[in-house]
Amino acid sequence: MGDRLTLDLKDKRILRELFIDGRMPFSKIAKNVGLSKQVVRYRYQRMYENGLLMGMNSVYDINRLGLQTYMVYVKFKSIDDDKEKNILESLTNHPNTSWVIKTIGNYDVILQFFVKDLSELNNILKKFESIYELYVDSYVIDTVKEEHTVPVPFLYSPLKYDWLPPKKKPGKAKIDKIDIKILEQLASNSRMQLSVMAQKTGLSRDLLKYHLKKLQREKVILTYRPSAWSGSKSIGYSWYFITLNLRDLSDEKKQSLFAYVKNNVHVTYMYELIGQHDLGIEIRLETGDELNQVLMDLRRLLAQDLKRHELNLILKEYKYTYFPECLKSLV
């Protein structure tokens, strides 16, 4: 990837617009940031080539598709590089995994699964454990009660973005095969034009436009955003996953905690969890001193309400998608 990538204010303005709406046309971005369309396109492409941007993804409300989200934290034993590679490949190719990361800390691998219910997840994990019983020391499970996709403000700091969580709808949405085709196409390329999607799916542009608007209106699609998770290393950031075990928080303490997480420019995801942990935080930091400050802030804010925290350094992301293969069987 070469030397560390340096972002100037023009790059940061473009990034902020992309996190506001990843499908925003270059012409509108250009108007908003005061640059020409050609310059915006050039700078956007340069951020890809330098490894900052890894893709343009779409974020879906999995509950609206009738599925549940679980986090699984795995600890290995008696494992070598070849066997670990084999296991990670198996997990990455699994039709129900949406996120697969290798870590150092309390766990060796952290996984996210989309499944119909806990029974389906247990069946998946029992099969996994039976295949790799010599190498799986232990695992724990969390239900993801709520996922908050914070728009990666550290990338365009000191510019501000008054982030509000996307509004959601309760219950299961009514979807059909056309909707599934659209979700599949947009999962890894949220900027795909309808004309290109029409060629790939064999459906008319007007029909795709109608269904896309429906998916947005029904809050199946929550937002479109760049994927810069692994790419943040290109500008000198390390990536951590922090989990917290909490006592029963008062409403005031909970609001203070959420406000701290929301206003910390280095936080990129927050998970409300049920199970082994109560809160999960993804955060990108440049130095160990910054990490220590975040942990001290959390201890000071929560005081006796913090029972335990776990820290994992994310070494590599093997899979990240809101459309694993299992979604194809929904209709």
In this predicted model, what pLDDT tens digit does every residue of 77-102 receive, in sequence order?
999 999 999 999 999 999 999 999 99
pLDDT reading at 107 higher than 60: yes
Q: Do 146 and 11 have their domain in common? A: no
Q: Is residue 225 part of a domain?
A: no
Mean pLDDT of the region 280-303? 94
Name the domain count of the chain: 2
Query: Considering the domain boundaries, does residue 164 fall inside one?
Result: no
How far apart CA 32 and CA 83 sit, in angstroms, is 50
Answer whether residue 11 is part of any domain: yes
- The verdict on 234 and 278 lying in the same domain is yes
pLDDT at 60 over 80: yes
Flag whether 212 is in a domain.
Answer: no
DSSP assignments along 169-192, one per residue: --SPPP--HHHHHHHHHHHSBTT-
What is the DSSP pairing of strand 238-246 with strand 109-115?
unpaired
Residue 254 forms part of a structural domain? yes
Please check the confidence at residue 227 and state whether its pLDDT lies above 90.
no
The reply to whether 259 falls in a domain is yes
Same domain, 40 and 81: no
Regarding whether 303 and 269 lie in a shared domain, the answer is yes
pLDDT at residue number 231: 52
Q: Are strands 68-76 and 109-115 parallel, antiparallel or unpaired?
A: antiparallel
The answer to whether residue 209 sits within a structural domain is no
What's the CA gap between 98 and 111, in Å, rounded? 8
Same-domain check for residues 70 and 26: no
| Residue 118: per-residue pLDDT | 97
For residue 36, give its domain range: 1-53
Q: Coil, strand or helix: which one is 56?
A: strand
* Cβ atoms < 10 Å from Cβ of 50: 18
How far apart (Å, rounded) are the C-alpha atoms in residues 106 and 168?
33
pLDDT of residue 158: 85
Are 82 and 27 in the same domain?
no
DSSP string, 195-213: HHHHHHH---HHHHHHHHH
User: Is 186 inside a domain boundary?
Assistant: no
Compute the average pLDDT of residues 265-272.
91
Write down the pLDDT at residue 232.
62
DSSP notation for 209-258: HHHHHHHHHTTSEEEEEEE-TGGGGGGT-EEEEEEEEE----HHHHHHHH
Residue 219 — φ and ψ, nearest 5°? 60, 30
Higher-pLDDT residue of 37, 230: 37
Task: Encode pLDDT of 108-167 as tens digits.
Answer: 999 999 999 999 999 999 999 999 999 999 999 999 999 988 877 888 888 887 777 788
Q: Are residues 41 and 86 located together in one domain of the fold? A: no
pLDDT tens sequence across 229-258: 555 666 688 999 999 999 999 999 999 998
In angstroms, the Cα distances linking 94 to 43, 125, 307, 324 are: 36, 11, 34, 8
Closest CA to 60 of 232, 199, 185: 185
Range with the largest mean pLDDT of 50-54, 113-117, 163-167, 267-271: 113-117
Closest CA to 111 of 125, 126, 123: 125
19 and 108 housed in the same domain: no
Provide the CB-side half-sphere exposure for 139 (13 A, CA): 24
Segment 307-322, tens digit of pLDDT: 999 999 999 999 999 9
Tokens of 302: 């929560």
Q: Do 23 and 70 sit in the same domain of this protein? A: no
Q: What is the CATH number of the domain that holds 270?
A: 3.30.70.3460
146 and 234 housed in the same domain: yes
Q: Do 241 and 110 belong together in one domain? A: yes
End-to-end CA distance of the chain: 42
Of 34, 53, 72, the domain-final residue: 53
| Residues 44 and 126 occupy one common structural domain | no
